[in-house]
Structure 1
Amino acid sequence: MKLEPLTDDTRRGQIVRRLRELIVSGQVSAGERLTESELSLQLGASRGPLREAIRELVSSGLLVSIPYKGLFVRSVSRKDLEELYSLRTALEQLAFRHCWERRTPAALEDLRWRNENLVAAVDAGTEPHKAIELELILHSWCYELSEHDLLNQAWQRILPNLQFYFMLHQRAHQRPGPFRDAHEAYVEYACGDNLDLMLEHLQYHMRQGLERTLSFIDSIEEYEHIT
């Protein structure tokens, strides 16, 4: 067996994945300041790939670089969550409009399979980050099936923010993942014959849990203000 040596691009990808995992899991706090020297030491990474990884995470919105102040883990406000909710709802409704006539028996079976994988991860309860990943894979189905390139690019763009939101959502509900039956109606309508019902359900499905997450954000901000 012959393996190709790691390139700077490979290292950058590894660093991006590791830092993204730390951020979305809550192992580093929102608003926490990070330094290149500490990250380089902890990750055993050289400055070149590390800086490229940081730029990618800044571009995706998980990190914030403030001139003369430093690098920080992003924080989340009510406005951030409301905007993410409204954009995500509009994008997914558009994805279903484009994919509706493309649904084949094989495509619908793929959707059910994705939901079964998510339910299995929820039942296992040992890898909450895996449940977040599988929930996003489930929701990616309609985008992939739509074959709409710009729509898929927009979806990929907001994925890191959704991972961060799902982490907050889980903390707000004090559970390691979604309810095992959280997507049963979603899958049922997606496999059904009424697009209008699917679009209405999306509005409801996306709104579920948002208010509680917003209340959770308010409680954090109030605590930080007091302290």
Structure 2
Amino acid sequence: MAKVLGGLPFLVVLSILVALGGSRELHEMSMMERHEQWMSLYGRMYEDEPEKARRFEIFKSNVEFIESFNRDRDKSYRLGINKFSDMIKEELRAARNGYKKSPPRSSRITPFQYEIVTAVPYSMDWRKKDAVTANKDQKQRGSCWVFSAVAAIEGVTQLTTGKLISLSEQELIDCDDNGEDHGCKGGINDHAFQFIFKNYGLTTETNCYTKRWVN
């Protein structure tokens, strides 16, 4: 006669535990397969097995967070797996964030103010307005201050002229000689806009790289 445990026959309880253990193993196998596919997609290699195991745990944690976040249908956006999915926030911030806080403004400078309007949309996707260029990759450099400034100018240019033109981040990195900006090692957004203003704009991304390599 089967033993009873917590109101259920012992064999039933045992079957449930085995099933749970099996599903957990399948989950791990599935996640490992996803990690292998992700590595192949982004050409990711690790120096040894301990490093691979550590990165897998980070990848798994990030993927589980992404899936949990996306289950909330009330969110206005969705997260996705990308080439940074085996990194922790601190690593990503150290590798990509070269933003420097602007110095205090003079009290004589009139602060920026938005126009007073009443009829504004709840949200706006500027991609649908063709005011955003394709994603650009700053690589392992602290040049986010440049890329963000250039993206803003690209959007303003499109809204003003109706033409979406990919402008050159490299010109800012190479030519902004402000003593407080250091190209790929960090800088200040305000200085980027000041350079663009004094330089009467930026060259296009295509033009910059053509001259860079031809000359």
Under TM normalisation by the shorter chain, which class is it? under 0.3
Q: TM-score, normalization: structure 2? A: 0.23
Structure 1 or 2: larger helix share? 1
Q: TM-score, normalization: structure 1? A: 0.22
Larger radius of gyration: 2
More contact order relative to length (CA 8 Å, sep ≥ 6): 1
